[in-house]
Amino acid sequence: MAEKVAAKPNGKLGVLVVGNGAVATTFMTGVLMTRKGLAKPVGSMTQYDKIRVGRGENKKYLHYKDIVPLAELDDIVFGCWDVYPANAYEAAINAEVLKEKDIEPVKEELIAIKPMKAAFDKNYAKRLTGDNTMGDITRWEMVERLREDIRNFKKETGVERVVVLWAASTEVYVPVNEKVHYTLADLEKAMKEDDRENIAPSMCYAYAALEEGCPFIMGAPNTTVDIPAMWELAEKTKMPIAGKDFKTGQTLVKSGFAPIIGTRCLGLNGWFSTNILGNRDGLVLDEPANFRTKEVSKLSTLESILVPENQPDLYGHGNDEDTQYYHKVRINYYPPRNDNKEGWDNIDIFGWMGYPMQIKINFLCRDSILAAPLCLDLVLLSDLAARAGRYGTQRFLSFFLKSPQHDYTQDEVPVNHLFQQYVMLKNAIREMGGYEADEEID
């Protein structure tokens, strides 16, 4: 499967975004502005990165588009679903991420992006009050209506292919339930029986997308496609899936910085991460059940890079049970900051003979500005993967994700180390471009 070269794209690429909030509108506005030559897609690997292909005398450093047949930005047609009826222009203004001068030139195109009615259940995001929803319908009805939406979007826009990207709010935590989430037959049964506890609305979007032959990307930490039943569906429909949770501010820093500690064999007693955030995402995450989903995702990053079992002297002390360093993540809702999140990391390390030291990182980032290029890359690379005949979980996309999917039923370990993830990304691009995957992950 992996060695297949990607076929050239035909026609337009539809991008259906679940959610029309800060991330979605920053992504869409940026693509439209770039198309007009009025902005630069900074931070996007597919637009900027150059990687080596070939070796020795045949070695070349090329942009991705010169290695693989990526869809062009000009070929993208956007659509979306949201709980609120505001069009993408109004939503972009409301989000207050971008200045009006960076939105106005594409106002008409944004106004034309009107959200379809959301498949929504208030129990999954209590703080949202919008009424642009499908109403109180069963999970299976949600699936059917979403499938119809995708088909209508294709018909109306004439796009050849569609990718579905979840950039909607984080849902409450749905623990993996072996009786429901392990086989496709059980999942379908639960959807048909309207099992609202085990079937999140996001699963209906994913199911509908895959059945309609669209890759599905989960940008929030929801477990949606991170369950064996969805892996089975992705195999059956031969569609790529990717998730979870865009790797933006603090976790990006963590997955890039932790390797410094690990590579130099320094010790770690504790890592405390806290954030203040004031956008709607922060509001939803202020609800403990929604934060739980995020916490699980954020915590997993460090543990697979600095592994206590592998280096008990360095990482086997620090918390209550003295089996591991102390790792804590907090997000606090603080409206005055809106989308401009501030993150603090306090890292208690130790060196030669156990002498303690501290590292402080204060990242004043812009959440959606960091997330938008990831949306673009995930969409273009998932579309590419589908054309290369790759299906199921796309591990090479881990580079963009905070809590990368992996087969936990087989004790497969996720790769969280930023530079190892980059190797997987480069190798996949090489393979899909007909070159040899020539870098190892040690």
Tokens 């010790």 found at: 267
For residue 211, the minimal CB distance to ligand NAD (Å) is: 18
* Residue 67 or 381 having the CB closest to ligand NAD: 381
Tally the C-alpha atoms within 13 A of residue 131's C-alpha that lie toward its C-beta: 0
Instruction: Tell me how far apart the alpha carbons of residues 430 and 413 are, in angstroms, rounded to a whole number.
Output: 24
Question: Closest approach of Cβ 130 to ligand NAD, in Å?
Answer: 5
Residue with Cβ nearer ligand NAD (281 or 431): 281
- Residue 20 Cβ vs ligand NAD, minimum distance, rounded to whole Å: 6
Identity at 134, one-letter amino acid code: M
Kindly state the smallest distance separating residue 341's Cβ from ligand NAD, in Å: 7
- In the complex with ligand NAD, the residue whose CB is nearer, 23 or 314, is 23
Using CB positions, name the residue nearest to ligand NAD.
21
Residue 209 CB, nearest approach to ligand NAD (Å) = 13
Continuous H helices in 177-287: 178-181, 184-192, 201-211, 228-237, 250-263, 280-285
Distances (CA, A) of 392 to 171, 210, 395: 23, 10, 9
Least Å distance, CB 48 to ligand NAD, is 19
Q: Which is nearer to ligand NAD, 340 or 420 (CB)?
A: 340
Neighbouring C-beta atoms of residue 236, cutoff 10 Å: 12
Select 281 or 342, whichever has its Cβ closest to ligand NAD: 281
Closest CB to ligand NAD among residues 30, 249: 249
Distance between CA 314 and CA 31 in Å, rounded? 45
Token look-up 């905070």 returns 402
CB of 261 to ligand NAD, least distance (A): 24
Supply the minimum distance, in Å, between the C-beta of residue 348 and ligand NAD: 26
Q: In angstroms, what CA-CA distances link 360 with 15, 168, 357, 363?
A: 39, 31, 10, 10
Tokens of 375: 């949306």
Task: Report d(CA 329, CA 257) in Å as an integer.
Answer: 16
CB of 23 to ligand NAD, least distance (A): 3
Cβ at position 256, least distance to ligand NAD in Å: 15
Smaller CB separation from ligand NAD, 285 or 349: 285
131 CA to centre of own chain = 26
Strand 216-218 relative to strand 267-277, pairing? unpaired
214 vs 268, beta carbon nearer ligand NAD? 214
Contact 385, 240 (CB under 8 A): yes
Cα atoms in the 13 Å half-sphere on the side-chain side of 272: 6
Contacting positions for ligand NAD (CB under 6 A)? 18-24, 81-84, 95, 118-120, 125, 128, 130, 167-170, 201, 219-220, 245-246, 248-249, 279-281, 367-368, 370-371
User: H or E stretch including 205?
Assistant: helix 201-211
Structure tokens at 360: 């402080």
Tell me whether residue 366 or residue 406 sits nearer to ligand NAD (CB atom).
366
d(CA 208, CA 145): 9
Helices of type H across 36-177: 45-48, 88-95, 107-111, 139-157
Rounded Cα distance between 232 and 359, Å, is 44
Indicate the DSSP class of residue 364: E
For ligand NAD, the closer CB: 317 or 366: 366
